Each structure stands twice: as C-alpha cells, then as structure tokens.
Amino acid sequence: MIPAWLAFFDGLIAIALALAGIVGAHYALTTPFLGFQMLVFGFFIGVLGLLIGIIGLAVTSLMPSRRPARPRAITGVILSLIVVLPIVRIIAMTRQYPAINDITTDTKDPPEFTHAQEIPANQGREMKYDASKYASVQEGAAAYADLAPLKLEGAPNDVFKRVWILAGEIPDWQVTYSDPDKRTIEGIATSTVFRFKDDFVIEVRDAGGGASLVEMRSKSRDGKGDLGVNYRRIRNFFTLAQHRRSGATPAP
C-alpha cells in the first residue's frame, strides 16, 4: 500500500538526515549550520512521514485487504516519531525565547568586543551591540526578566582574576583575549552537539563599597534566534561564579 511505504521511507529518510546532520556537524564533516539545517529538514520529513503513517494506519484498519501493509505503516510512524518528538520537546521548552541571538546583562551599557573582530571567522561581522535591534526585544521578554549583572564582594581587580580563572576552566570555552587593565575577557564557547561557536565578553566593573559587578554578553555567529543558549550561558556562568566564591559546589 502506497501510504504505508511512503511513511516507512519518510521515517528512514528523516532519521538518516537527522543523524547525518548531527554527526557531520559534531565531527566537522559539515559546517554547524549545515548540520542543523539537515536536522530541520529531517524533522519536516518526519512530520510528513508521521501524517502519512497515520493515514496508512487508518486505511489498514478500515480495509482488511490492506492489513498486510500495517507493519510498514507502524514502523514508519515509529521512525518518524524518533525524530519529531525530541525536536517538538525542544521547541516547547524554548518557545519563550524571542528570535534574537545577542544577549547582554546590560542593554544600556553592554560590554563590547575589542578583539573578537580580529578572529578570522568574524571578519565582516558586526560585533558592536545593536541596541535598536536587540535591546527592546530582550527587555520586553519575560524569559530574560531575571538577567542582570552579578554583584560579587571584592575589589574589581581581585574579582577579575577569579572570573578569568573560572572562564578558563569551563569545558568548551576558549579564552581568546584578556585585558587586566580594563578587566575584560573575551572568548569563544562551542556548543556540545553541533559545535556552534559563539563569542562572549565579560567585564568586571567597580560597584563601590568594596564590591564588583560582573557584566557579560554572549553573541551567536549563526542564525537569527538562539533557543535561549546565550541566556543560559550567562546564567550558568554566574551560578558557577557565585558558588566558587562561597566555596560550595553547584548541583548538577
């Protein structure tokens, strides 16, 4: 039966595209963005396979002569769901994040990159914070309501040293530039699966009274949105910095 076969083959193609995209990007066989596009294409093929599979199941249930094709329709539905369900879950968990990919703890006076522009991969990219494009969107999104500079006790120079050491210890982070005089750190964060590379900058500012403010900005190189990755990167780093100061170990 045609729907059953179509569902079966769509499910196989969806899984093949998803795996090829993930493996290809992770092991640098493709660019991260191409690998991600392959996954997205596999998702849409999976949705198509799921719909056709449901049609196939309905037909094989209503028409006894078509029941021999039912296992293929079931297999197609299962294969499609393997690709579709995880992505639907990610979409549901990240839908609160608007389609921006440059996040900062201070939209009025954001940390600015001074070295990232010199990295070959950033040639031709605009690294200056575009407040007209990002600020109002970030400020209006409930998902970023708790994002603010991190206040730590200690003189700015001492806090900078702690922050610099911590940034250098994080897996998949590469510190590419530091300026103790300006108390600024820049680096590249690489995502776990697709190996996307995002740029980040951290500044330590004097908060007065023997305290310091840690400001951070994280900017994606690819795509329009970031599914909340830059926000979580900042929040996770601040959590580590707070626990490092207190001597506690954050829960996994």
Average pLDDT over residues 9-27: 97
Summary mean pLDDT of the chain = 93
pLDDT tens for each residue of 96-106: 999 999 999 99
Q: Please tell me the predicted confidence (pLDDT) of residue 3.
A: 83
Q: Please tell me the predicted confidence (pLDDT) of residue 235.
A: 97
pLDDT tens for each residue of 216-225: 999 999 989 9
pLDDT tens for each residue of 198-212: 999 999 999 999 999
Q: Please tell me the predicted confidence (pLDDT) of residue 4.
A: 87
Residue type, 177: Y
Q: What is the DSSP letter of 153?
A: E
Q: Please tell me the predicted confidence (pLDDT) of residue 157.
A: 96
Q: Is the pLDDT of residue 69 over 90?
A: no
Q: Report in angstroms the alpha-carbon separations of 152 from 160, 243, 245.
A: 10, 11, 8
Q: Please tell me the predicted confidence (pLDDT) of residue 61.
A: 79
pLDDT tens for each residue of 240-250: 999 875 444 44
Q: Please tell me the predicted confidence (pLDDT) of residue 243.
A: 84
> DSSP assignment of 27-95, as one string?
TTSS-HHHHHHHHHHHHHHHHHHHHHHHHHHHHHHH-GGGGGGHHHHHHHHHHHHHHHHHHHHHHHHHT
Considering the domain delimited by 102-246, tell me its CATH architecture: 2-Layer Sandwich (3.30)
Residues in the chain: 252
Q: How far apart are CA 70 and CA 48, in angstroms?
A: 17
What is the pTM for the complete model shown? 0.87
Q: Please tell me the predicted confidence (pLDDT) of residue 248.
A: 42
Largest interatomic CA distance in the chain: 83
Q: Are the beta carbons of 212 and 149 closer than 8 angstroms?
A: no
The gap between the terminal CA atoms of the chain, to the nearest Å, is: 50
Q: Please tell me the predicted confidence (pLDDT) of residue 252.
A: 35
Q: How far apart are CA 36 and CA 230, in angstroms?
A: 17
- Domain map of the chain by residue range? 2-94, 102-246
Q: Report in angstroms the alpha-carbon separations of 188 from 202, 232, 235.
A: 12, 15, 16
Average pLDDT over residues 136-163: 96
Q: Would you tell me the crossing angle of helices 70-94 and 2-26 to the nearest 10 degrees? A: 40
Q: Please tell me the predicted confidence (pLDDT) of residue 247.
A: 45
